[in-house]
Structure formats: C-alpha cells, structure tokens
C-alpha cells in the first residue's frame, strides 16, 4: 500500500487539504508534488487575513531560530489569541491540532467568537469579485469549517489530549534556543512557560475550557479588493455528515484509492487549474468540446 504522506513529503494532514479534496483531490495532490503557484489572489487573501487578525489580536513579534522555536511560537500565539477571546469575546487565527485514524491533523481557525455563551466557529474566504460562491466552493469550505468544529470538540471532550499531542510531536525532546528564550523574556513570558512542553499543556488547558460549541457554523465571503462582505453563509454542523466526509477523504490518505480528478459534470473547474493539459490531462482531450 502507498504511504501517501511520505509521497507528498508531509507529516500531517491540514484542514485546508481536506477542503481542497472537496474541490479537486487530484489538484490538491499535484500542488504538493509540483508546488502550489502563489497567485496575486492568494497573496491578497493572506494580506486580508493579516489585517483582520491585527484588528482583534495583540501583535506578537517573535523570530524563531529552530523548529522547536517555530512550534513554540505557534502554540504561544494561539494561546494568546484564546486570552483575547476571553477578554474581547472574539479572536482570530487559532492553531488547532487533532488526530483521526492515526493521522495527525492540523489547521488554523480564522475566527472564534463567544455569543450567548456559545463558541462560534467562522471561516473567511476572499474572492476576486462580488459574485456569490458556487455550491462547489461552498462544499469545499464547509468541509473545512466542520472539521475545525470537530477538532475543538475532540479537545474539549478529551478525545484528543495534550498528552497525545506531545507524544505525536515528540514535544519533550524540543529545546528552545537561547536566543529565542531571550525574546520570550523581553515580551514577559514567565520562566515556567518557557518550554514547548509547558506551553503545550497551557494551550490545551485553555482550549479545553472553551465551553459549549455552537452547531451553527459560518463561512464569510469577502471581496479582496473592496473588503466588503459578499455573503455570510450559515450552516448546521452534523456529526454524521462529518464522519461520512472523513470516511471519504481518508480513503485517499490511507492509500486505498488514487487521487480522484473532478467528475465529468465538474470539468469546468479544469479551466481554473494550473495543471490542466500539463501534469493533468484527464479532461484535456475534450478541451475543444466545451470543457
Ligand atoms: S485539470 Fe481538472 S481534474 Fe486535473 S487536477 Fe486540475 S481541476 Fe483536477
């Protein structure tokens, strides 16, 4: 059986990979094999996410020098984002971890908000115009936001614990560099928290206390040029639907099947794909026939 993660030179599955599988699984795979093309649209989208983050979260400037520092920075900034959530009832860019069927899962939640004592999960997507998203786009984004909700719930119900996280990422072996520790001292981090291990415990403890998670999830579509909200899509979380979705995507990661190209009725997506006619020729012979 093929080891798909090794083939794609990955150690974990990202929530965005699962979303991408619902757009075109073959394209998601090719992005790893040949490198994703960073378009102007992707750059603009990242800028908007950065702008929104600075509206709510306290900016944290840390310059990691090694993998252990990078890991710490991710945990610390997400922990601080959860502190912001308690104070301002809203926060952005929270890293989340989990495991499914032996695979490590990781993602970054765009927005968490507390309303009526419930935690609301929201995903933001930027668009190049004011057109409403297609059903195919919404399906892909729905998979992502549903997965975030599941990952938070797995932590609050202790299906996934700090201990499991620390074992799978070999956290006790990670030692911070002296220079990074000096940076942490400058920003006032307490000595006992200057270890990836203790920061992991503190971060998971904050996640565990998040309380009731709303079954209503949101996807907000934003025009990347005007910053205007095009649509706030609301959906209901269904555990059953989530498990079905995971069952489908994991067949690929388990190596039970090859990556799937889009089906014939969705071959219009190929017109927006950088691999069309090059690395992927599934629907290429029909290009002249209205692809
Ligand atoms: S060309 Fe079409 S089927 Fe092939 S990877 Fe791109 S979107 Fe998927």
- Cα of 247 from ligand 1 centre, angstroms: 22
Q: What is the pLDDT of residues 130-143, one digit of tens each?
A: 889 889 899 999 99
How many helices (DSSP H) and strands (DSSP E) are in the chain?
9, 6
**What's the pLDDT band for 42 if we cut at 50, 70, 90?**
low
Residue nearest to atom 2 of ligand 1 (CA): 270
Number of domains in the chain: 1
The pLDDT assigned to 2 comes to 76
- The SS3 assignment for 14 reads strand
Cα 290 to ligand 1 centre (Å): 15
CA of 34 to the centre of ligand 1 (A): 13
4 part of a folded domain:
no
Residues with CB under 6 A from ligand 1: 24, 26-27, 30, 261-262, 269-270, 273, 275-276, 280, 282-283
The dihedral of CA 235, 241, 247, 252: what is its sign?
Answer: negative
Q: Which atom of ligand 1 is nearest to the CA of 284?
A: 1
Q: Mean pLDDT across the stretch 162-178?
A: 96
Q: What share of the chain is helix, strand, coil (3-state, %, to 5)?
A: 50, 20, 30
Of 42 and 192, more confident: 192
Is 133 inside a domain boundary?
yes
Half-sphere exposure of 86 (CA within 13 A, CB side): 10
Q: Tokens standing for 276?
A: 């069309």
pLDDT, residue 11, reads 94
Residue 25: inside a domain, yes or no?
A: no
Question: Are 82 and 207 in contact, with CB atoms under 8 Å apart?
Answer: yes
Closest CA to 138 of 213, 216, 218, 37: 218
- Non-local (6+) Cβ contacts of 135 within 8 A are none
Length of the chain: 291
Nearest protein CA to atom 7 of ligand 1, as residue: 270
Mean pLDDT of the region 164-188: 96
Residue 29 included in any domain? no
Determine contact, residues 242/146, Cβ cutoff 8 Å.
yes
> Is the pLDDT confidence value at 103 over 90?
yes
Say whether pLDDT at 287 is over 90.
no
- Convert the pLDDT of each residue in 52-74 to its tens digit: 666 777 677 899 999 999 999 99
pLDDT in tens, 108-131: 999 999 999 999 999 999 888 888
Half-sphere exposure of 244 (CA within 13 A, CB side): 5
The answer to whether 142 and 15 are in contact (CB under 8 A) is: no
Which atom of ligand 1 sits closest to the CA of residue 270?
2
Distance 125 CA to ligand 1 centre (A): 21
Neighbouring residues of 82: CB distance < 8 A, sequence distance ≥ 6: 91, 94, 203, 206, 207, 210
- The answer as to whether 177 is a domain residue is yes
Instruction: For the beta carbon of residue 39, count every other beta carbon within 10 angstroms.
Output: 11
Residue 36's pLDDT band (boundaries 50, 70, 90)?
A: confident
pLDDT interval class at 289 (50, 70, 90): low
Question: 290 in a domain, yes or no?
Answer: no
Which one is predicted more confidently, 228 or 214?
A: 214
- What's the whole-number average pLDDT of the chain? 91
The radius of gyration computed from the CA coordinates of the chain, to the nearest angstrom, equals 20
Domain with 154 in it: 41-260
**Does 244 map to a domain?**
yes
Closest residue by Cα to atom 3, ligand 1, is 261
150 Cβ contact list (under 8 Å, min separation 6): 98, 239, 242
Reported confidence tier of residue 37, pLDDT bands at 50, 70, 90: low
Considering only 131-140, 157-166, 247-256, which range has the smallest mean pLDDT?
Answer: 131-140
Confidence band for 275, pLDDT divided at 50, 70 and 90: very high
Ligand 1 atom closest to Cα of residue 274: 6
Number of other CB atoms surrounding residue 32 within 10 Å: 16
Span 46-56, pLDDT tens digits: 676 666 666 77
Mean pLDDT confidence for 216-220: 97
Query: Per-residue pLDDT averaged across 270-285, rounded?
Result: 91
In a domain, 286, yes or no: no
Look at residues 33, 248, 29, 265 and name the one whose alpha carbon lies nearest to residue 143: 248
- What's the gap in Å between 266 CA and the centre of ligand 1? 10
């Amino acid at each position: 059986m093929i080891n798909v993660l090794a083939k794609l030179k990955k150690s974990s599955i990202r929530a965005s990979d699962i979303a991408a599988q619902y757009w075109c699984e073959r394209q998601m795979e090719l992005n790893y094999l040949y490198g994703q093309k960073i378009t102007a649209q992707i750059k603009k989208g990242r800028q908007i996410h950065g702008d929104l983050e600075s509206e709510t979260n306290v900016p944290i400037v840390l310059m990691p020098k090694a993998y252990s520092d990078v890991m710490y920075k991710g945990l610390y900034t997400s922990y601080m984002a959860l502190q912001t959530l308690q104070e301002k009832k809203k926060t952005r860019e929270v890293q989340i971890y989990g495991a499914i069927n032996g695979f490590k899962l990781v993602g970054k939640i765009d927005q968490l908000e507390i309303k009526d004592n419930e935690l609301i999960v929201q995903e933001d997507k930027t668009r190049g115009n004011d057109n409403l998203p297609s059903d195919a786009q919404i399906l892909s984004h729905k998979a992502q936001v549903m997965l975030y909700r599941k990952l938070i719930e797995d932590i609050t119900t202790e299906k996934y614990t700090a201990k499991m996280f620390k074992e799978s990422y070999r956290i006790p072996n990670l030692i911070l560099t002296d220079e990074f520790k000096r940076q942490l001292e400058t920003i006032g981090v307490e000595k006992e928290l200057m270890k990836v291990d203790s920061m992991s415990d503190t971060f998971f403890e904050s996640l565990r206390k998040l309380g009731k998670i709303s079954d209503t999830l949101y996807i907000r579509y934003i025009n990347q040029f005007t910053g205007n909200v095009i649509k706030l899509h609301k959906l209901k979380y269904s555990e059953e639907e989530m498990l079905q979705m995971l069952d489908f995507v994991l067949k690929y990661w388990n190596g039970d099947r090859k990556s799937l190209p889009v089906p014939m009725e969705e071959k219009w997506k190929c017109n927006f794909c950088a691999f069309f006619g090059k690395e992927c020729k599934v629907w290429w012979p029909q290009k002249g026939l209205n692809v």
